Structure 1
Amino acid sequence: MKRAIAEGSKLLILVLCLNFPSEAESCPGACVCYSEPKITISCQQQGLGAIPTEIPIQTQRIFLHSNKITVIRSTSFTSCRNMSILWIHSNNISLIEPGAFYGLDKLEELDLSDNTNLRSINPSTFQGLVHLHTLHLDRCGLLELSTGLFRGLFSLQYLYLQDNSLQNLLDDTFLDLANLTYLFLHGNRIKSLSENVFRGLINLDRLLLHQNRVSVIHRRAFHDLGKVMTLYLFNNNLTVLTGETMAPLVSLQYLRLNGNQWVCDCQARSLWDWFKQFKGSSSELECHLPAHLAGRDLKRLQSADLEGCVDSFNQIRTSVFSTKTRTGKLPTADPPLSPHDGGRKCCQPEMDKSFIYEAKAKAGPSSHSSRASSNNPLKDKENIAKTKPQVETDPSKNSSNKQINDSPFGTFPSAVDPPLTNLKPEFLGPIEPSTVPTKRRQGCSKKNKSRSQCRIAQPTQSTTSRLIPSLSITLLVWSLFWSC
């Protein structure tokens, strides 16, 4: 019996010894192969221009990163049915043929990042990868996500899409990703979030959307994100975000909304109310408009600060950002009112405080603030016409301490459209309603002005003509007195 066991042990050792050279011989050139902890082929940084053709069928992990591979063929991995990890990042891949990953139903992690020429991916590329839990597509130069690209990836938990050139996200792009927990979309050029863009992400925990160009978020965009705990939206182009939009985020703990152009008026009230019941951690929301609240944190304002609405904010942005000429200077506004125009003020009816100033030639910086104007409107307007804009260079006034440019990482063009914080305060200050010329003089109103004040502005006769009747009567009285 003992003899039989000893012979069996020798036979097993012999089989293992015979099997090891076989695996070593099948290892592709320029690669290193080993079997512990899993059967692995490592070919990184070997200058390979194509995927090796002789990959053993029992291989479980393949590392092909940091080479010069340009194409993934439909036949590149047909024999690798046991593969669970594929790293092919940091190459020059510009094309993935349809069916390149067909049959790899044991694949769990796929890293295609840092292939900046990839640009687009066929919708059927990832079909059948039912066990895939991690997918890296960051820094691939992607311009769009095709409809159905992630269809059937029911096991996916981590999706990396940051630092691409995505501008739009279609509805139901992530519909099948019910198990996704991390979604990284920062560093793109996304402009808006539609109603069903995140539909299906019922288990999402972390959503990073910072450093995009988001200016509009549909009020129901987050309706399936009840488990999100971390939301980053800083360094975008947001001006208004309603409390109704944020209401579905019942599990939210970490929120960053800094680096946006917040308008702190009546439009911000619902978000201000939402923050009153928010128990998590949040960054500051620095107000940009109206001017008298610029730089203050929206969350720390009082209810009275949010009374009144900035009128036509879109026109404000257009006015501020479109008035630059080819020389980089703002056009000059209208000259100050003449004294003749200024003399009519007392009899003018009360005007709407949200008066919009318009230049004669081109639209100048507008003001839509509901705040009361300065005491000397003529002087204020003269200052607006004469003052030249200066670029703010103090880094302490930039919340991120980093210049945002027009690259995929940025949010604002660096040389064309300065943020509102770079404009001098006088360009955002209110304009006195009384600068509007009237067609004809209105009658005086006791409600607005006293009779003596109105009499000053009325055209009067000369002093000599008013004294003649009085002198005549006086002389007549004196002549009668002396005659007596």
Structure 2
Amino acid sequence: MPKQSRLHMEEQLKNRNGPPGKVNEVRSCFQPKAITFANSSHYCSLQAQADEQRIALLLTVAGPQVIERFNTFIFDNEDDKNNFDKVMKKFDQQCTSKKNKTFEWYIFRSHTQRADELFDSFSTDLRLKAQTLVFLAALRVSAWACSRSCPSVCTCTRERSCAVFCDRASLPRVLRDFPCGASAINLDKNNIRFLSEKAFGTLPALRSLSLNHNNISFITPGAFKGLPHLTELKLAHNEYIKYLHTRTFTGLKRLLKLDLSNCNLLNIPDRIFIAVTALQELALWQNHFRRIPGAVRGTESLTRLYLERNRIEAVAYNSLQGLGNLKYLNLQDNRIGVIHDKGFKDCVELEYLYLNDNLLNKLPQFAFKGLRLLKMLNLGGNTLVNVSSTWFSDLGELEVLYLDRNTISHIDEGAFENLTSLISLHLNSNNLTSLPLAVFQPVYFIGRLYVFRNPWECDCKMEWLKEWMDNYELVRDIPCASPSSVAGMDLGEVLFQSAGGACLDPVEQNETVSTPSPTEWTRSTTEDRFSNLISKLLSPKLYQDTGNITEIFRNVSDQSGVNLSAAANVQLHPNNTHHHIVFPVLLLLFYNV
């Protein structure tokens, strides 16, 4: 290349990203990472240490220039000085833009030995230039080293925190040559049957390990040693495990999520999680537990617990002892028939509770006492008959309540009175015939009310619900089962009659004709209404006020438009001798319609 062109290119490269900076400054910045990444085995041992030890080892190996720079760092708080990641971030900030990387690579690659230059001099000069580029290469080590050491049957990503995918590879055993810098390993759907002690060697950067859908039958105690930073472990759908040793998860102090679902487990040792002090999410669904495993007791860090589809028969007073931070508990689809009255006493932070599809036919008087933060409660699919007014007295934050698919026929007055945050209530598929307003008072608003598939008796006790339906349009599909005059109709279509401001119940029909003509229907319904009205008029209670009776009778009219004002002159008196006169007059009027 001509000298003039080369000088022009060098000038352009210098101006591209700023001045190259001094070699000593570059070395003092980049040497820590260069040392860390240059030797993979040393890097692995460094990563396995505690943060303070890693920082001390790094500074000792890196030299006085790095220590001097480290001492100038200003942290947000004193504890950050002992945080390895934050220390490395400080080095990154110090080193950013102090070296024109493109220019330095160009200088290094274009450097040639001059005719009058001794080889030793050329070699020394080249080595010094190479030292300025160590970190540039180190930045790439984390990406290409992972793929370079990737097992042949696996696929590895090229990101700095690489992921290793060895799923569906028909592996009979765990590989031993995973990249040291791997952050995630997927071994799903292989034929792995056995995990030996320290089965994965030392992988200090590993955060996630998945072994779902294998044939694992035994896990040697200490199998996961060498994975100090593992936060997620998946062992679901290994149907031959059945048994776990107390020290199975030894060394996993940072584990946050553990999945042991569908492993045919009958029980697990009570102290199996004693060393897993950070565990937050535990999935144990679809096993064969007959009781809530004692291992979960006292796991204070636990926030989510999945126990659905087991064979659990009861929630004892100490089953959930010490779970003060639990927010989500799923016990659905078990065989729970008994809940102790203090079964949930320690779960004061609980927000979501699933008890649906069990064998509950009753609950303790204060079953959910103290669960003041509960937002969702599912009691559907049980055999509950009554809803007590005390069950939900503490649930002021409850937003969704499922009572569907039970055999509920009665709800105590005021059962929902403290549910001031309720948005959705599911009462469908029960044996309810009536839903008095007193059940909800003083709740004034429910976002959604589901009451279909109940044998509703559409009498005046349901009039408030019809009005609520018409005003808010938030509930539909309430077919009436009785009285026969409105059977099969939707509650929203029923027209409630009133007399003197009092609601009149639809009456039973006596017709045997399956499909009456419009005229017959009008006559029969009118007869039913008059029969009902007569019974009300002749009741002893109404005899006490003759004036009011007359006024009520005067204002009655048929829906079909037939004016009944002719009956206005009929007076009723306490004297029983007039009874035989009233009936013929009314019946004559009716049959002349």
Scaled by the length of structure 2, what TM-score is found? 0.47
> How far off its partner does 1:93 sit?
0.6
For residues 14 and 8 of structure 1, what CA distance do their matches in structure 2 show? Answer: 10
> How far off its partner does 1:133 sit?
1.0
For residues 185 and 96 of structure 1, what CA distance do their matches in structure 2 show? Answer: 22
Partner residue of 2:448 out of 281, 285, 288: 281
Q: Does 1:242 find its partner at 2:401?
A: no
Deviations 1:132-179 (A, max 9, x none): 111100111211123212111111111111111111221121111121
Deviations 1:431-473 (A, max 9, x none): xxxxxxxxxxxxxx9679869x9xxxxxxxxxxxxxxxxxxxx
Is contact 1:140–1:164 with CA below 8 Å preserved after alignment? yes
For residues 272 and 250 of structure 1, what CA distance do their matches in structure 2 show? Answer: 10
For residues 108 and 16 of structure 1, what CA distance do their matches in structure 2 show? Answer: 32
Q: From the superposition, tell whether residues 110 and 272 of structure 1 become closer, same or farther in structure 2 (CA, over 3 Å).
A: closer
Is contact 2:414–2:440 with CA below 8 Å preserved after alignment? no
SS in 1 for 2:338: coil
Partner residue of 1:125 out of 280, 283, 295: 295
Correspondence for 2:265: 93
SS in 2 for 1:270: helix
Correspondence for 2:439: 271
Correspondence for 1:109: 281
Give the total of aligned pairs: 311
Correspondence for 1:225: 395
Correspondence for 1:170: 340
Deviations 1:65-122 (A, max 9, x none): 110211233222233222111011121111112112113220011000111x222234
Q: From the superposition, tell whether residues 280 and 6 of structure 1 become closer, same or farther in structure 2 (CA, over 3 Å).
A: closer
Q: From the superposition, tell whether residues 77 and 198 of structure 1 become closer, same or farther in structure 2 (CA, over 3 Å).
A: same
Q: From the superposition, tell whether residues 150 and 136 of structure 1 become closer, same or farther in structure 2 (CA, over 3 Å).
A: same
Deviations 1:208-247 (A, max 9, x none): 1111111123211111100001111111111111341110
Is contact 2:415–2:440 with CA below 8 Å preserved after alignment? no
SS in 1 for 2:455: strand
Q: From the superposition, tell whether residues 245 and 19 of structure 1 become closer, same or farther in structure 2 (CA, over 3 Å).
A: same
| AA in 1 matched with 2:328 | Y
Is contact 1:211–1:236 with CA below 8 Å preserved after alignment? yes
Q: From the superposition, tell whether residues 38 and 187 of structure 1 become closer, same or farther in structure 2 (CA, over 3 Å).
A: farther
For residues 32 and 445 of structure 2, what CA distance do their matches in structure 1 show? Answer: 70
For residues 66 and 83 of structure 1, what CA distance do their matches in structure 2 show? Answer: 20
Q: From the superposition, tell whether residues 16 and 196 of structure 1 become closer, same or farther in structure 2 (CA, over 3 Å).
A: farther
Deviations 1:389-447 (A, max 9, x none): xxxxxxxxxxxxxxxxxxxxxxxxxxxxxxxxxxxxxxxxxxxxxxxxxxxxxxxx967
Q: Does 1:30 find its partner at 2:196?
A: no
Partner residue of 1:55 out of 199, 205, 224: 224
Is contact 1:262–1:285 with CA below 8 Å preserved after alignment? no
Is contact 1:113–1:138 with CA below 8 Å preserved after alignment? yes
Correspondence for 1:208: 378
Correspondence for 1:46: 214
For residues 171 and 273 of structure 1, what CA distance do their matches in structure 2 show? Answer: 26
SS in 2 for 1:156: coil
Structure 1 residues 236-245 or 223-232, which shifts more? 236-245
Correspondence for 1:338: none
| AA in 2 matched with 1:55 | F
Deviations 1:309-344 (A, max 9, x none): xxxxxxxxxxxxxxxxxxxxxxxxxxxxxxxxxxxx
Q: Does 1:141 find its partner at 2:307?
A: no
RMSD of aligned Cα (Å) = 3.7
SS in 2 for 1:175: coil
Deviations 1:356-386 (A, max 9, x none): xxxxxxxxxxxxxx9977769xx9xxxxxxx
> How far off its partner does 1:195 sit?
1.9
SS in 1 for 2:314: coil
For residues 323 and 409 of structure 2, what CA distance do their matches in structure 1 show? Answer: 35
Structural mapping, 1:60-459, within 5 Å: 60-68=231-239, 69-115=241-287, 117-122=288-293, 124-264=294-434, 268=436, 270-271=438-439, 277-284=444-451, 288=455, 299-300=465-466
> How far off its partner does 1:297 sit?
8.8
Q: Return 5+ residue gaps in structure 2 as ranges.
A: 1-23, 49-148, 151-163, 165-171, 185-204, 469-504, 513-574, 584-593
Partner residue of 1:10 out of 30, 34, 43: 34
SS in 1 for 2:315: coil
Q: From the superposition, tell whether residues 47 and 286 of structure 1 become closer, same or farther in structure 2 (CA, over 3 Å).
A: closer
For residues 10 and 289 of structure 1, what CA distance do their matches in structure 2 show? Answer: 78
Correspondence for 2:88: none
| AA in 2 matched with 1:246 | F
| AA in 2 matched with 1:180 | L
Deviations 1:184-209 (A, max 9, x none): 11111211122211112110111111
> How far off its partner does 1:252 sit?
0.3
Is contact 1:215–1:239 with CA below 8 Å preserved after alignment? yes
Is contact 1:38–1:61 with CA below 8 Å preserved after alignment? no
Larger-Rg structure: 2
Is contact 2:416–2:440 with CA below 8 Å preserved after alignment? no
| AA in 1 matched with 2:360 | I
| AA in 2 matched with 1:104 | V
Scaled by the length of structure 1, what TM-score is found? 0.56
Identify which of structures 1 and 2 has the higher relative contact order when contacts are C-alpha pairs closer than 8 Å and 6+ apart: 1
For residues 265 and 463 of structure 2, what CA distance do their matches in structure 1 show? Answer: 46
For residues 31 and 89 of structure 1, what CA distance do their matches in structure 2 show? Answer: 24
For residues 297 and 446 of structure 1, what CA distance do their matches in structure 2 show? Answer: 34
Is contact 1:133–1:155 with CA below 8 Å preserved after alignment? yes
Q: From the superposition, tell whether residues 251 and 374 of structure 1 become closer, same or farther in structure 2 (CA, over 3 Å).
A: closer
SS in 2 for 1:245: coil
| AA in 1 matched with 2:211 | C
Is contact 2:424–2:446 with CA below 8 Å preserved after alignment? no
